[in-house]
């Protein structure tokens, strides 16, 4: 087999699947109409967009939510409790990934997607309607925690089911279709930051703290039913349906997944850089810009809109490009650039703490995030065979996000508080880039070896 074979998406997935005893057979893909493509992309992306919109809004208004539900005489402690509750919800992601991932591999991608968005709507409704600590006491933070746990459970299975649904509709354009998972995150970042910027600028602080912060959650709640309706009227993927006759072990998922542990660990490592790009360079940056750089809150939110916009535009471009050039070439190059550039960018931002400097950093971060994350879902889907794809994607992504993302703002904020080193975000991003780069290099090596073995 020639040298380029291991870099093509199909050869890459087949190589790993053959090496690990996976199922590499798939039905021929029928041509999809533009209307069908739009339905696939929207239905698979809307849950991911709702998830990130809700999480980003929670993070952006963490200080206000802390006052409403986590009162304390120490403002820093109150904020840390609110951020910590945000992080604790990620502990439910692996459980949701296992349960909903297996459910999707047994009953279909459509069934899991419909259930996931219904559970996410419950969490969003709770945030929008929950009375404050002043009105119902300790029940308020406990119910907020419960809502975050439910949503974390739902989100755990969302990525795997949605990505599997996308890639199993087209073999040739997997990268482009799956890239909308992260393009939708960029759109969610735009909307969340726009709400943060507009509400902060237009509402007096007392009104913002009293009821204004709930407006974005009400908006998110309106999106959910649309996504639920569309998902409930979808057809199952052709590849999943074609794999059913061979899925005699579907009731024994532990056996099916028993030879996928190396791929699972590699998937977790691959997710690290993408996750940190969201939770440090998008979610945490408005708080960082205000508290550490002393920049206006409105400008800080506006810059995140720019970051999200670049991610929204370039993720599909990089996903489509990966269908031609290969996923690993693009992603590994991005990891190297991020590892080399992130510390100097933050050092320059500290030396020149202006809105312009923040714009430059966020622009670079948005483009690099898109270049890495656009091809990532397709690459991860090609690691796992069809019969356990949703389970593998869900668990790999959930573990990666939980380990490297959920507590990232808490860790970075605590590190700055203890050491006074304001370059802490760059250290965290650098470590993630190194880990992801190593994981990608191992996947490339295994693909090359598997392809040669298959030949």
Residue 3 lies in a domain: no
266 is written with which tokens? Answer: 């590699």
Check pLDDT > 50 for residue 26.
no
pLDDT in tens, 50-83: 877 887 787 778 778 777 777 666 666 666 666 6
Examine residue 233 and state whether it is found in any structural domain, yes or no: yes
Q: How far apart are CA 41 and CA 235, in angstroms?
A: 13
Buried b (16+ CB within 10 A) or exposed e, 93-128: bbbbbbbbbbbbbbebbbbbbbbbbbbbbebbbbbb
Among candidate residues 257, 230, 240, 110, the one with its CA nearest the CA of residue 168: 240
How far CA 419 is from CA of 28, 249, 287, 394, 423, in Å, comes to 57, 53, 18, 36, 10
Asked whether residue 246 is assigned to any structural domain, the reply reads: no
Question: Residue 251 falls within a domain, yes or no?
Answer: no
Q: Is residue 313 part of a domain?
A: yes
Q: What is the mean pLDDT of the chain?
A: 80
In the block, tokens 């735009």 appear at: 190
Residue 377 lies in a domain: yes
Of the candidate ranges 63-67, 123-127, 160-164, 244-248, the one whose mean pLDDT is the lowest: 244-248
Query: Chain-centre distance of CA 154, in angstroms?
Result: 13
Looking at residue 407, the DSSP 8-state letter turns out to be T
Per-residue pLDDT, 439: 96
Domain presence at residue 214: yes
How confident is residue 434, by pLDDT bands cut at 50, 70 and 90?
very high
> How far apart (Å, rounded) are the C-alpha atoms in residues 225 and 324?
36
Instruction: Say which CATH number the domain at 269 has.
Output: 1.20.1250.20
Task: Tell me the pLDDT tens digit for each residue of 306-318.
Answer: 888 898 999 999 9
213 close to 64: Cβ distance less than 8 angstroms:
yes
Q: Is the dihedral of CA 224, 229, 230, 231 positive or negative?
A: positive
**What's the pLDDT score for residue 111?**
86
Query: Residues 259-284, buried b or exposed e (16+ Cβ, 10 A)?
Result: ebeebbebbbbbbbbbbbbbbbbbbb
Confidence (pTM): 0.77
Nearest one of 178, 390, 145 to 274, comparing CA atoms = 178
- 248 found inside a domain: no
Residue 410's domain spans which residues? 11-22+42-238+259-454
- 3-state helix, strand, coil split of the chain in percent (to 5) is 85, 0, 15
Structural domains counted in the chain: 1
């Amino acid at each position: 087999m020639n040298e380029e074979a291991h870099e093509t998406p199909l050869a890459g997935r087949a190589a790993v699947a053959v090496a690990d005893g996976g199922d590499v057979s798939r039905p021929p893909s029928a041509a999809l109409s533009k209307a069908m493509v739009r339905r696939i992309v929207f239905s698979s992306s809307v849950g991911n967009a709702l998830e990130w919109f809700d999480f980003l809004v929670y993070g952006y208004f963490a200080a206000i939510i802390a006052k409403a539900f986590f009162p304390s005489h120490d403002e820093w402690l109150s904020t840390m409790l609110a951020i910590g509750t945000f992080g604790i919800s990620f502990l439910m992601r692996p459980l949701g990934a296992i349960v909903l991932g297996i459910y999707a591999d047994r009953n279909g991608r459509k069934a899991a997607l419909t259930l996931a968005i219904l559970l996410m709507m419950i969490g969003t409704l709770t945030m929008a309607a929950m009375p404050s600590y002043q009105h119902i006491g300790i029940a308020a933070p406990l119910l907020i925690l419960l809502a975050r746990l439910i949503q974390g459970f739902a989100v755990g299975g969302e990525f795997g089911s949605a990505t599997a649904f996308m890639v199993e509709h087209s073999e040739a354009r997997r990268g482009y279709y799956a890239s909308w998972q992260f393009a939708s995150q960029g759109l969610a970042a735009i909307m969340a930051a726009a709400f943060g910027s507009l509400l902060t600028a237009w509402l007096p602080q007392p009104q913002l703290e009293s009821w204004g912060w709930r407006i974005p959650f009400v908006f998110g709640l309106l999106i959910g039913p649309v996504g639920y309706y569309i998902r409930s009227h979808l057809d199952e993927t052709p590849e999943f349906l074609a794999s059913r006759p061979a899925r005699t072990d579907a009731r024994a998922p532990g056996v099916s997944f028993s030879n996928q542990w190396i791929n699972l660990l590699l998937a977790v490592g691959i997710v690290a850089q993408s996750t940190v790009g969201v939770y440090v360079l998008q979610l945490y940056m408005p708080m960082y810009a205000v508290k550490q750089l002393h920049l206006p809150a409105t400008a800080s939110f506006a810059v995140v809109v720019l970051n999200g916009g670049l991610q929204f535009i370039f993720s599909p471009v990089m996903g489509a490009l990966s269908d031609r050039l290969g996923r690993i070439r693009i992603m590994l190059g991005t990891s190297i650039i991020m590892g080399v550039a992130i510390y100097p960018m933050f050092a320059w931002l500290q030396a020149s703490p202006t809105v312009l400097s923040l714009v430059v950093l966020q622009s670079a971060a948005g483009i690099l995030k898109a270049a890495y994350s656009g091809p990532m879902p397709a690459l991860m889907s090609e690691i796992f065979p069809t019969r356990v794809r949703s389970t593998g994607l869900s668990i790999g992504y959930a573990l990666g996000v939980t380990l490297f993302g959920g507590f990232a703002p808490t860790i970075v904020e605590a590190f700055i508080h203890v050491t006074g080193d304001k370059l802490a975000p760059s250290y965290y991003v650098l470590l993630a880039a190194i880990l992801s780069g190593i994981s990608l290099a191992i996947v490339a090596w295994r693909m090359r070896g598997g392809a040669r073995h298959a030949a």
